Every structure is written in C-alpha cells, then in structure tokens.
C-alpha cells in the first residue's frame, strides 16, 4: 500500500510540474504578433484545407480519438454477478496539421505528439457486434452502427470520441518555430504543445487541483501503509 501511495504521490508531483510549466505560457494579443521561440497561449478558430471526418459524428475535424468498450459480466467468489465496461483494443487516434486564425491572420499548428485537454467529447451506444466488425474492417462503419437508445440488454457496446472540430474556438499553448519562410506551432523539448478550449487560468487551476488530490491521496496511502506495517 505504501508503494502504491508513493506512485500516486509521484503523479501529484508530475501534475504540479505540469501546472508550473503552463503558468509560464504568455497570453498573445493576436496571432499575427506572436514572437518566435517564446511559449504563448494563442486563441483563435480552427480551420483546415482538407479536414478529417469524425467516424462517430461525421463532422469535419482536425483531431479525433475514440475508445471502444464492451460491457462484460464478472463474478465474485460467491458467484454474484456485476457488469463493467472494459476497453477493447487500444485507442484510435488521427490528427492533421491545421490553422489557428483570428482577425489578424492565421498560423499553422503541427499537432504531432500534442496534448489535449477538455476537448469536445461524445459517447454513443453501438449495435451489438460492432466492435468485432470495426476491428476487421476499420472505422468507417462506426457512424452507421450508432444506436439512439441504450437498450437494457447486457453485453452492450459503446464508443467514446474526443474531437476538435473545424470552426471551433481553441486555445493553443505552444512555441512558434520558424523553418524557412514558414512559422508554425510545434512541441519543443522544453515546452509541450497543448490544445484546449480552456483558458490559461482554467487549465492551470485544473492541473493544480488534480495535483492536490493526487498528493493528498498518496500521502494518506503511505501513512496507512506504514501504520499497517507497524501493527504486524
């Protein structure tokens, strides 16, 4: 238990470091005037020349990630049944470079290895057997397999999707890189590229809150583990 508490506390320290890093991003007045090499927070609208299509909502987007889950029955030592949602396979993700634009102009964003936070989420139930078909034929059947109602039958299936749609408002936390004549946002060694509709204050506050929770829980588990060891 003490080891588990140490791991949870480590996650809290990591969240603290992330919030401290985000605190160093400087809000940009407009996209056209963003300096090169300085971590900034830029606000604008998402645009793309050839956007992706969300496999769940069928909306044009520049980023999507979906998770497939199946409801499965488990039994305890007494034979009592319970039903739990379990992920099937790994998350499927796809993203493309896109533009962030405002009245002053636009800048290219290269989202490779980016982080996303609190982006649009939708969850839909699927027709039974969809997951098996998706794994063999690809993601194209997802939209057609959406069920408008969640029936009461067990062994249900569902998909959860996270998406950044074109035309949506977005905050980009990142650093402008210059290659030749082109400027673009990209992850750097010192600063991550974070995409979120949350403002700087909201995102930093969210990370700090998570850090306090992890640290508090970690310390409690460590103390409980030490107490139990001393009672043996």
Tell whether the model's pLDDT for residue 10 goes beyond 50.
Answer: no
Total number of domains in the chain: 2
Across the chain, what does the average pLDDT equal?
82
Reading phi first (left if > 0) and then psi (alpha if -120 to 50, else beta), residue 201 is in alpha
**Residue numbers of the domain that contains 32:** 25-190
Quick one: 232 and 186 in the same domain? no
Q: What angle do CA 171, 87, 68 make, to 5 degrees?
A: 65
Tell whether the model's pLDDT for residue 5 goes beyond 80.
Answer: no
Task: Indicate the pTM of the whole model.
Answer: 0.80
Quick one: 61 and 14 in the same domain? no
Instruction: Give backbone dihedrals phi and psi of 119, rounded to 5 degrees, phi first.
Output: -80, 170
Quick one: 216 and 227 in the same domain? yes
pLDDT cut 90: percent of the chain above it: 44
Q: Which residue has the higher pLDDT, 131 or 196?
A: 196
Mean pLDDT of all residues in 88-104: 93
Quick one: 92 and 116 in the same domain? yes
Tell me, yes or no, whether 185 lies in a domain: yes
Quick one: 146 and 110 in the same domain? yes
Quick one: 121 and 80 in the same domain? yes
Q: How far is CA 12 from the centre of its chain?
A: 18
Tell whether the model's pLDDT for residue 119 goes beyond 90.
Answer: yes
Per-residue confidence (pLDDT) for residue 192, from 0 to 100? 93
Tell me, yes or no, whether 72 lies in a domain: yes
Tell me, yes or no, whether 195 lies in a domain: no
Quick one: 132 and 216 in the same domain? no
Q: Which residue has the higher pLDDT, 73 or 228?
A: 73
Instruction: Give backbone dihedrals phi and psi of 76, rounded to 5 degrees, phi first.
Output: -85, -175
- Tokens for 220? 């409690």
Tell me, yes or no, whether 116 lies in a domain: yes
The enclosing H or E element of 67 equals: strand 60-75
Mean pLDDT of all residues in 16-29: 79
Quick one: 16 and 85 in the same domain? no
Using CA atoms, how far apart are residues 158 and 67, in angstroms rounded to an integer?
A: 8
Tell whether the model's pLDDT for residue 64 goes beyond 70.
Answer: yes
pLDDT tens, residue by residue, 143-195 = 666 765 555 566 788 999 999 999 999 999 999 998 888 899 999 999 999 99
Quick one: 110 and 9 in the same domain? no
Tell me, yes or no, whether 148 lies in a domain: yes
Q: Which residue has the higher pLDDT, 74 or 16?
A: 74
Quick one: 151 and 221 in the same domain? no
Per-residue confidence (pLDDT) for residue 30, from 0 to 100? 93
Last residue of a domain, one of 190, 209, 224: 190
Tell me, yes or no, whether 218 lies in a domain: yes
Quick one: 36 and 138 in the same domain? yes
Quick one: 111 and 127 in the same domain? yes
Q: Which residue has the higher pLDDT, 212 or 146?
A: 146
Per-residue confidence (pLDDT) for residue 47, from 0 to 100? 98
- Tokens for 171? 């905050």
Residue spans of alpha helices (H) in the chain? 2-23, 130-137, 200-230
Please tell me which of 67-71, 89-93, 106-110, 134-138 the model is most confident about, judged by mean pLDDT: 106-110
């Amino acid at each position: 238990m003490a080891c588990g508490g140490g791991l949870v506390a480590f996650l809290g320290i990591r969240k603290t470091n992330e919030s401290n890093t985000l605190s160093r991003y400087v809000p940009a007045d407009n996209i056209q005037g963003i300096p090169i090499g300085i971590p900034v927070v830029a606000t604008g609208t998402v645009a793309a020349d050839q956007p992706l299509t969300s496999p769940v909502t069928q909306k044009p987007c520049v980023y999507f990630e979906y998770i497939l889950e199946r409801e499965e029955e488990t039994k305890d030592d007494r034979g009592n049944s319970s039903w739990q949602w379990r992920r099937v396979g790994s998350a499927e993700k796809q993203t493309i470079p896109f533009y962030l634009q405002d009245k002053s102009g636009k800048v290219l964003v290269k989202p490779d290895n980016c982080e996303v936070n609190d982006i649009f989420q939708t969850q839909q139930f699927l027709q039974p057997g969809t997951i098996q078909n998706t794994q063999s034929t690809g993601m194209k059947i997802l939209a057609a397999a959406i069920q408008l109602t969640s029936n009461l039958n067990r062994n249900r299936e569902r998909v959860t999707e996270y998406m950044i749609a074109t035309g949506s408002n977005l905050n980009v936390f990142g650093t402008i890189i210059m290659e030749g004549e082109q400027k673009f946002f990209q992850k750097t060694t010192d600063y991550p590229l974070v995409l979120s509709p949350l403002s700087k204050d909201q995102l930093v506050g969210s990370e700090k809150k998570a850090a306090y929770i992890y640290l508090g829980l970690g310390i409690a588990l460590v103390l409980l583990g030490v107490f139990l060891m001393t009672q043996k």
